[in-house]
Structure 1
Amino acid sequence: MTNDQPDQFWQGVEQFNQRQFYACHDTLEAIWMEASEPDRRFYQGILQIAVALYHLGNQNWQGAVVLMGEGMNRLRSYQPEYAGIDVEGFLAQTAQILKLLQEAGPNRVSAIAQQLGYPIQRNGQEEAAMETIQASTHPLPTLQRISTQ
């Protein structure tokens, strides 16, 4: 509809892209609760995918798969772009992660999370596996702005 989104929306986008999924959820939930359609459903779809990725980081396979699917379903009607975001590209990236999770199943969620670059636990210490994010054939989705020229 419009690229004239509140500053909190762009803050949530930045948090999502910086893998701060819980913070993104909080930021977008605040504007989602006050929004009217069609923005309300759009915000909800993004925040559901953020929560799904947060669940993935906690190795909660079911929470990740269910919320990823629900968020994707909410965003489908906003393709190819909405509110200055490349929704089509975002959904394509998210679908790759969902497929990877579904094929791996709940018993391999830890391996998938590690492959996607989530911090891993070793002797009570978290290690940020940033090299894995770079090398992964399935990078985590990002919210890309559509350039308006």
Structure 2
Amino acid sequence: MINEFWKGVNQFNQEEFYACHDTFEALWMESVEPQKKFYQGILQIAVACYHLGNLNWRGTVILLGEGIGRLRDYQPIHESIDVTELITQSTDLLKMLQEVGAEQVADVVQQLTTTSIDSISEVGSGRIRRLPKITRVNPDL
């Protein structure tokens, strides 16, 4: 199960959100609390990012909110993951999407796919760098 977890994290960070969904869904279905809710939170943020790629503003906003909510109790760090940072990045994306609305979702996706990580793009007044990433706190573990 541990190897599958890190496989899912790598898929998430490589923006392979559909594959990440499959990996985390399998983990989620086989797990018990407290892990079940943790896996579901990551899964929902991955699916939100997948929806964003398909210009599904409503699905993105709903699942970002649900994923963020499920991960809050796991802060600051859980399973060697910086949960606080994942929540911060996801919340920033959610707020920006709520601000620009469904009408500008294509602009958001275009900015996210054409912007280097070192630069900042402006969409509306929202500042975005990239899609959320999962940060491993203790990579040697």
Q: Paired residue for 1:52?
A: 48
The alignment partner of 1:33 has SS state of: helix
Superposition TM-score, scaled by structure 2 size:
0.89
CA deviation vs aligned residue, 1:114-143 (integer Å, no higher than 9, x gap): 1111xxxxxxxxxxx3xx143345221111
Q: Which residue of 2 is the match for residue 90 of structure 1?
A: 86
Of 4, 25, 41, the match for 1:8: 4
Give percent identity, aligned residues only: 53
Given the alignment of the two structures, is residue 78 of structure 1 paired with residue 74 of structure 2, yes or no?
yes
| 1: CA distance, partners of 2:116 / 2:19 | 20
AA at the equivalent of 2:81: I
Residue 36 of structure 2 corresponds to residue 40 of structure 1: yes
Structure 2 CA distance for aligned equivalents of residues 133 and 66 of structure 1: 27
Please tell me whether the aligned partners of residues 115 and 133 of structure 1 are also in contact (alpha carbons under 8 angstroms).
no
CA offset digits 1:17-76 (Å, max 9, x no partner): 000011000001011100000000000000000000000000000000000000000000
Are the equivalent residues in 2 in contact too, given 1:16–1:143 (CA < 8 A)? yes
Paired letter, 1:104: V
Larger radius of gyration: 1
Aligned with 1:37: secondary structure?
coil
Unaligned runs of 5+ in 2: 122-127
Q: Is the 8 A contact 1:12 1:24 kept in 2?
A: yes
1:144 alignment partner in structure 2: 135
- CA-based RMSD of the aligned residues comes to 1.4
TM-score by length of 1: 0.84
Partner of 2:124: none
1:25 aligns with 21
Cα distance change on mapping 1:78 and 1:93 into 2, 3 Å: same
